[in-house]
Amino acid sequence: MLVLERPKVEYRGWSLTIVRLATKWGPWALALLLRFAWVIFFAVLVVLTAFVWIVGRFINPLLPWFLRDIVVVVGLLAFACIVAIIGIWAERKVSARIQSRLGPMRSGAWHGWAQSLADGLKFVQKEDLIPHSADQPLFRLAPYVTLVPAFCAYLAIPFGASWVFRDSDVGLLFVLALLAIEVLGVIMAGWASNSKWSLYGAMRAACQLVSYEIPMGLSLLVGVAAVGSLSLIDLGRAQERGWFSWLIFQDPFLFVAFFTYYIASLASCKRSPFDLPEGESELVAGFHTEYSGFRFVMFFFAEYVAMFAVSALATIIFLGGWNAPVAGWSSPWWFVIKSAFLVWVQMWFRWTLPRIRIDQVMHACVKYLLPLTLLLFLGGSAWQLYDNPAHPAFTVFANIVRAVLGLIGLGLVGLYVFGAGYGYYYRQRLVGSMVRKHLPGA
């Protein structure tokens, strides 16, 4: 007689033990924590302040700075996590609304806000699968190599004129360098999986990301040339005087450079229409085909963290950073809102556009984007040569151009607001409203 035995599943590692304990006692601990949250908060604050004061006064005057660093790093980590969690939830809601669905509605009370948390909990509990023929150490390492640089990029990103962990005179390059390391994790994952689909994903990632790094950096350099500094704080400070002082409206080259940067940043984040490294209709799931459970979540997190990071760069360098459209109202909220808007546009693209083919990706980069950004860099630099008090006639012309560009920007924003409002107002009867060209016979 055939006896079907339940296969013995051997759970490996201490992580699962933690998860078991956490799922057993976690809710109680959380409830207790929330119940006395304010007490704990103030107690921690008082203890921390006292500790820092004592340390600074009696032991070593430099140590408080070290403690401050630790607190800020933890805060940035938390911020990046929140960005990823909200980003993943928002992606699902955005896609749902675009596709006339509701998306997650159950988890949490309001519009499924806790869906990402629930998914995270689910992923943590999954078995950590590693293919038998995979290159084990590299397979395990790859998610970290993808996620950690993306997190580290936040160390140099300023949220406000003084809201920065470290302002370095090479802050911009620092962020770009860290985003460049992220590619490695993808390649590592693709190669270590020992799956052909993963390998294809890794190859595509390497091709695409290395190529688009160049137009991306060059577009940013146009902004750098306009301000004359690589420090992100300096770049933000240069745009303090309201809407028309934002770098994107400073000269036509910067205006175009913003768009080239945005396209290149889509490619560097592997976002649609450049999502070839994981293009699921061709490569199953690309470089993370073999990943499951929490390792997969890490890739997912890294994607959203990097999305916000590249949008943050665009915000700081082109869109005025933390400065409000009206001078003097600057706040970190402006920075977050602008970056979040750019992230939303990335999602909008993803749920609208088909995927480009790999040769078209490379053609677009080498034949169009790269020469264009080189020209922009040249033009932007030349503009800086003439746009100074030594050339009064040109300065007048430049001011007119600035005003026109600023008005174009206002028009674009107005168009967006109008379009969104129109869509919202007529959301119930949009049947066929997009029709511009009828099919023959209709």
Which residues of the chain form contacts with other proteins (CB under 8 A)?
95, 98-101, 135, 138, 168-170, 173-174, 176-178, 180-181, 183-184, 187-188, 190-191, 196, 199-200, 202-204, 206-207, 209-210, 213, 230, 272-273, 275-276, 279-284, 350-360, 431-432, 434-442
- For other proteins, the closer of residues 234 and 240 by Cβ is 234
Q: How many CB atoms lie within 10 A of CB 298?
A: 24
CA distance 153 to 131: 31
Q: Which helix (H) or strand (E) holds 139?
A: helix 136-152
DSSP for 181-232, written as a single string:
HHHHHHHHHHHHTT-HHHHHHHHHHHHHHHHHHHHHHHHHHHHHHHHT---H
Report the residue number, 279 or 321, with the smaller CB distance to other proteins: 279
**Shortest distance in whole angstroms from residue 230 CB to other proteins:** 5
Buried b (16+ CB within 10 A) or exposed e, 82-116: ebbbbbbbbbbbbebeeeeeebbeeeeeebbebbb
Name which of 111 and 355 has its Cβ closer to other proteins.
Answer: 355
**Beta carbon nearer to other proteins, 90 or 405:** 90
Give the residue with the Cβ less far from other proteins, 158 or 190.
Answer: 190
Query: In the bound complex, what is the minimum distance in angstroms from residue 184's beta carbon to other proteins?
Result: 6
> Smaller CB distance to other proteins: residue 202 or 342?
202
Taking the complex as a whole, the smallest distance from the CB of residue 68 to other proteins amounts, in Å, to 15
Distance of closest approach, residue 175 Cβ to other proteins, in angstroms: 9
Dihedral sign from CA coordinates of 379, 380, 381, 382? positive
Measuring CA to CA, which residue among 333, 263, 269, 346 is closest to residue 302? Answer: 269
135 CB contacts (<8 Å, ≥6 apart)?
A: 191, 192, 194
Q: 321: Cβ–Cβ under 8 A, 6 or more apart, which residues?
A: 158, 232, 235, 236, 239, 315, 334, 335, 338
Please tell me the total number of residues recorded for the chain in this structure: 442
Nearer to other proteins, 80 or 176 (CB): 176
Q: How far is the CB of 283 from other proteins (least distance, A)?
A: 8
Closest approach, Cβ 251 to other proteins, in A, equals 21
- Least Å from the CB of residue 29 to other proteins: 34
- Residue 172 in tokens: 């911009």
CB 328 within 8 A of CB 239: no
Q: How far is the CB of 102 from other proteins (least distance, A)?
A: 12
Rounded Cα gap, residues 224 and 202, in angstroms = 32
Which pair of tokens denotes residue 159?
């949220």
Q: How far apart are CA 127 and CA 335, in angstroms?
A: 39
Which residue, 204 or 338, has its beta carbon nearer to other proteins?
Answer: 204
Q: How far is the CB of 125 from other proteins (least distance, A)?
A: 25
Select 97 or 108, whichever has its Cβ closest to other proteins: 97
Distance CA 172, CA 118 (A): 35
